[in-house]
A and B are shown apart, each in its own frame.
Chain A
Amino acid sequence: MTSHTGAPGTERTRLATSGARAVTLRQLSSQPRADVWKGNIFLAVLLFAVTLALAGLAAIILQAAIEGAPAFSTKLFTNGPSTVNPEEAGFRPALIGTLYLILGVIFLVVPLGVAAAVYLEEYADGERWWNRIVELNVQNLAGVPSIIYGILGLAFIVRGPLDLGFILAAGSLTLALLVLPTVILASREAIRAVPPSIREGSLALGATQWQTIRRQVLPAAIPGVVTGVILAISRAIGETAPLLLVGAATFVTFNPTFTGDNGYSALPVLIFNYASRPQEEFRVLAAAGVIVMLIALLAMNSFAIWLRNRYEQQW
Chain B
Amino acid sequence: MEARDTIGAFGVRGAERPPPSLEAPSPRYGERLIKGLLGAAAFLSVITTTAIVVSLLIPTFDFFTKDDIGLGEFLFGTNWAPTFQPSSFGVLPILVGTLSTSLWGMLFAVPVGLASAVWLSEYASPRQRKVVKPVLEVLAGIPTVAIGIFGLVFLSPLVAEVLPFMVNVPPFSAGVAGLAIGLMIVPIIASISDDAMRSVPSGLREAAYGLGATKMKVATRVIFPAAISGIIASLVLAGSRAVGETMVVLLVAGASPNLTFDPGSSVLTMTAFIGQTATGDISTGSITYDTIFAVGSLLFIITLALNLFAIRMVRKYREVYE
Cross-chain contact A57 with B139 (CB below 8 angstroms): yes
User: When chains A and B are docked, how far (Å) is the Cα of A13 from the Cα of B288?
Assistant: 88
Residue pairs across A and B with CB atoms within 8 Å: the count is: 271
User: Contacting A148 at CB < 8 Å: which of B150, B244, B245?
Assistant: B244
Cross-chain contact B41 with A155 (CB below 8 angstroms): no
Cross-chain contact A240 with B303 (CB below 8 angstroms): no
User: Contacting A238 at CB < 8 Å: which of B141, B183, B279, B308?
Assistant: B141
Question: Using Cβ atoms and an 8 Å threshold, which residues of chain B touch A239?
Answer: 143
User: When chains A and B are docked, how far (Å) is the Cα of A60 from the Cα of B116?
Assistant: 19
Cross-chain contact B123 with A53 (CB below 8 angstroms): no
| Interface 9-residue window, one of A3-11, A81-89, A137-145 | A137-145
- A46 at interface, CB cutoff 8 A: yes
Cross-chain contact B154 with A47 (CB below 8 angstroms): no
Most chain A beta carbons < 10 A, residue from B119, B190, B240: B119
User: When chains A and B are docked, how far (Å) is the Cα of A123 from the Cα of B41?
Assistant: 13
Interface residues of A in 183-201 (CB under 8 A from B): 184
The smallest beta-carbon distance between A131 and chain B, in angstroms, is 8
| Interface 9-residue window, one of B9-17, B45-53, B67-75, B260-268 | B45-53
Residues of chain A at interface, number, CB under 8 A = 92
Beyond A143-B310, A146-B244, whether A60 also contacts B147 by CB under 8 A is yes
Cross-chain contact B303 with A143 (CB below 8 angstroms): yes
User: Contacting B216 at CB < 8 Å: which of A39, A145, A154, A181?
Assistant: A39
User: When chains A and B are docked, how far (Å) is the Cα of A39 from the Cα of B168?
Assistant: 40
- B228 at interface, CB cutoff 8 A: no
Cross-chain contact B38 with A118 (CB below 8 angstroms): yes
- A265 at interface, CB cutoff 8 A: no
Interface range on chain B: under 10, 10 to 19, 20 to 34, or 35 or more?
A: 35 or more
Cross-chain contact A115 with B42 (CB below 8 angstroms): yes
Cross-chain contact B46 with A137 (CB below 8 angstroms): yes
The smallest beta-carbon distance between B237 and chain A, in angstroms, is 7
The smallest beta-carbon distance between A154 and chain B, in angstroms, is 7
| Interface 9-residue window, one of A69-77, A251-259, A268-276 | A268-276
- B271 at interface, CB cutoff 8 A: yes
User: When chains A and B are docked, how far (Å) is the Cα of A297 from the Cα of B145?
Assistant: 13
| Interface 9-residue window, one of B79-87, B129-137, B159-167 | B129-137
Question: Using Cβ atoms and an 8 Å threshold, which residues of chain A touch B134?
Answer: 305
User: When chains A and B are docked, how far (Å) is the Cα of A245 from the Cα of B305?
Assistant: 24
| Per-residue A-contact encoding for B261-296, CB less than 8 Å = 1, 0 else | 000000000010011001100001000000011001
Beyond A119-B38, A271-B145, whether A50 also contacts B119 by CB under 8 A is yes
User: When chains A and B are docked, how far (Å) is the Cα of A180 from the Cα of B187?
Assistant: 22
User: When chains A and B are docked, how far (Å) is the Cα of A302 from the Cα of B139?
Assistant: 10
- A116 at interface, CB cutoff 8 A: yes
- A106 at interface, CB cutoff 8 A: no
Cross-chain contact A124 with B42 (CB below 8 angstroms): yes
User: Contacting A61 at CB < 8 Å: which of B132, B142, B246?
Assistant: B142
Interface residues of A in 164-213 (CB under 8 A from B): 177, 180-181, 184, 208-210
Cross-chain contact B278 with A154 (CB below 8 angstroms): yes
The smallest beta-carbon distance between A110 and chain B, in angstroms, is 11
User: Contacting A140 at CB < 8 Å: which of B38, B135, B186, B307?
Assistant: B307
Question: Using Cβ atoms and an 8 Å threshold, which residues of chain B touch A118?
Answer: 38
- B222 at interface, CB cutoff 8 A: no
Most chain B beta carbons < 10 A, residue from A46, A47, A59: A46
The residue of chain A having its C-beta at the shortest distance from the C-beta of B142 within the complex is: A60
- B215 at interface, CB cutoff 8 A: yes
Question: Using Cβ atoms and an 8 Å threshold, which residues of chain A touch B279?
Answer: 244-245
- A23 at interface, CB cutoff 8 A: no
The residue of chain A having its C-beta at the shortest distance from the C-beta of B279 within the complex is: A244
Cross-chain contact A60 with B183 (CB below 8 angstroms): yes
Beyond A49-B111, A208-B31, A287-B153, whether A116 also contacts B116 by CB under 8 A is no
- B8 at interface, CB cutoff 8 A: no
Beyond A49-B116, A50-B116, A63-B154, whether A147 also contacts B246 by CB under 8 A is yes
- B232 at interface, CB cutoff 8 A: no
The smallest beta-carbon distance between B20 and chain A, in angstroms, is 13
- A133 at interface, CB cutoff 8 A: yes
Cross-chain contact B214 with A39 (CB below 8 angstroms): yes
Question: Using Cβ atoms and an 8 Å threshold, which residues of chain A touch B308?
Answer: 136, 140
- Beyond contacts A136-B311, A143-B240, A241-B247: 10 other A-B pairs, Cβ-Cβ < 8 A, are A46-B115, A46-B116, A47-B119, A64-B150, A112-B41, A126-B1, A137-B45, A140-B49, A155-B55, A275-B152
A-B contact pairs, 28 of them (CB 8 A): A46-B116, A50-B115, A50-B119, A53-B186, A57-B142, A64-B149, A111-B41, A115-B37, A115-B38, A115-B42, A116-B41, A134-B43, A140-B49, A144-B304, A147-B275, A150-B274, A152-B55, A156-B55, A180-B45, A184-B42, A235-B141, A241-B271, A244-B275, A245-B274, A271-B146, A276-B250, A293-B143, A298-B138
